Amino acid sequence: MITIVGSGRVGATTAFALLLHEVDTQITLIDVIKGLPQGEAVDLNHAAAILGLGTRVKGSNDYADMQGSDIVIVTAGLARKPGMTREQLAAQNAKIVADVAEQIKKYAPDSIVIITTNPLDAMVTVLYKKLKFPRNRVIGFSGILDSSRLAYYSSLLVNISPTSIVPVVLGQHGENMYPVPELSYVYGKPLTEFLTKEQYEQVVKQTIGAGAEIINLRGFSSNWGPAAGLLKMVEAIKRDRKEVIEASVYLDGEYGVKDVFVEVPVVLGKNGVEKVIELNLNPTQKELFMKSVEAVKNNLKQVPPEFLQ
């Protein structure tokens, strides 16, 4: 069973994506708002009936209904509004994530947990500290979205399918993320060989600002991209694909970093994070990566200490 905590746009869209791909026979939506997850479940089950799908969705306000889940996706939390940065949500969302962690620990102690709540790297840290699960079972979502955005914006300029680009974005999921076109490849050839200097700068800027652009255009944050990314991550785990996907994970010496969650490429399989892929960074790249890591550490200072113990 897959449980999604939070039945807002990201949670409901993710449920639909998982339903379409029949990743599991049972999806449970949990939310504190009375009627919301139940209503989404009814609508999703109608969609499944129309499409002839075997997955069933249950909506609940009771965390006990996550019992038996092997994967829990946490989308609960306050979303960004126009003009806000992800980092500004730290103190507000820390309590929500800490409360959810206590429920997961109680009812789904053997699950692999993926979180989307912003500011992502800080909130997955709160989740990890409160759950006290092994690091392979606590995963921050963001990397697959940021790297895919880099591939998408690059594809528009070089006229190559984004699926033919292996993109790399490291560090923070936020204003200080580190897109790395020179470590991104098109069939063995560096992406930078396809881009002019101006295009390189444009792609980096667009990748960093993609989330804010969506919010400014429609008034609320992205949900389709996150749902697609969560689908790929869950499929990699449930189907033991050993797929290399970028995610925000706990580093314990990799890249010379300890006790910090940041975006890096990892292998996802039935055990969650099965390996951290360490890229060979030159001194300049290492400096920029560490600058992004420091941004995560600074954001953690905005989280009340009781949520990091």
Q: 103 and 184: one domain? A: no
Q: Is the full-model pTM beyond 0.75? A: yes
Tokens 């965390």 sit at which residue?
63
Is residue 150 a contact partner of residue 275, using CB atoms and an 8 Å limit?
A: no
Tell me the pLDDT of the chain (309 aa) as tens digits.
999 999 999 999 999 999 999 999 999 999 999 999 999 999 999 999 999 999 999 999 999 999 999 999 999 987 656 766 656 778 889 999 999 999 999 999 999 999 999 999 999 999 999 999 999 999 999 999 999 999 999 999 999 999 999 999 999 999 999 999 999 999 999 999 999 999 999 999 999 999 999 999 999 999 999 999 999 999 999 999 999 999 999 999 999 999 999 999 999 999 999 999 999 999 999 999 999 999 999 999 989 999 998
Tokens 């969506």 sit at which residue?
214
Helix (H) or strand (E) holding 3: strand 2-5
Catalytic site includes residue 46:
no
Contacts of 31-35 with CB under 8 Å at 24 or more apart are 31/5, 31/6, 31/7, 31/59, 31/61, 31/76, 32/61, 32/76, 33/7, 33/61, 34/61
Q: 90 and 199: one domain? A: no
Alpha-carbon gap, residue 113 to 247, rounded angstroms: 12
Residue 177 maps to a domain: yes
Q: 263 and 135: one domain? A: no
pLDDT of residue 57: 98
Q: Which of 95, 124, 140 is the last residue of a domain?
A: 140
Q: Which of 140, 167, 191 is the last residue of a domain?
A: 140
Residue 171 maps to a domain: yes
Q: 289 and 150: one domain? A: yes
Q: Which of 128, 39, 41, 125 minimizes the C-alpha distance to 90?
A: 125
Residue 104: C-alpha distances to residues 62, 113, 131, 132 (Å): 12, 9, 8, 11
Domain harbouring 169, CATH code: 3.90.110.10
Q: 15 and 68: one domain? A: yes
Per the structure block, which two tokens stand in for 162? 């984004």
Domain harbouring 36, CATH code: 3.40.50.720
For residue 305, whether the previous peptide bond is cis, meaning omega lies within 30 degrees of 0, is no
pLDDT of residue 85: 62
Q: 127 and 152: one domain? A: no
Residue 309 maps to a domain: no
Residue 308 maps to a domain: no
Domain hosting residue 67, numbered range: 2-140
Q: How many domains does the chain have?
A: 2
Give the single-character DSSP code of 195: S
Residue 282 maps to a domain: yes
Is residue 144 a contact partner of residue 264, using CB atoms and an 8 Å limit?
A: no
Summary count for the chain: helices (H), strands (E): 8, 14
Alpha-carbon gap, residue 51 to 102, rounded angstroms: 36
Q: 297 and 164: one domain? A: yes
Q: 148 and 274: one domain? A: yes
Q: 157 and 295: one domain? A: yes
> Cβ of 115: how many Cβ atoms within 10 Å?
30
Alpha-carbon gap, residue 178 to 171, rounded angstroms: 6
Q: 158 and 263: one domain? A: yes
Q: Which of 122, 140, 158 is the last residue of a domain?
A: 140
Residue 111 maps to a domain: yes
Residue 193 maps to a domain: yes
Question: Which residue is catalytic, options 80, 137, 149, 173?
Answer: 173
Strands 26-30 and 2-5: parallel
Q: 19 and 168: one domain? A: no
Alpha-carbon gap, residue 4 to 11, rounded angstroms: 6
Q: 88 and 186: one domain? A: no
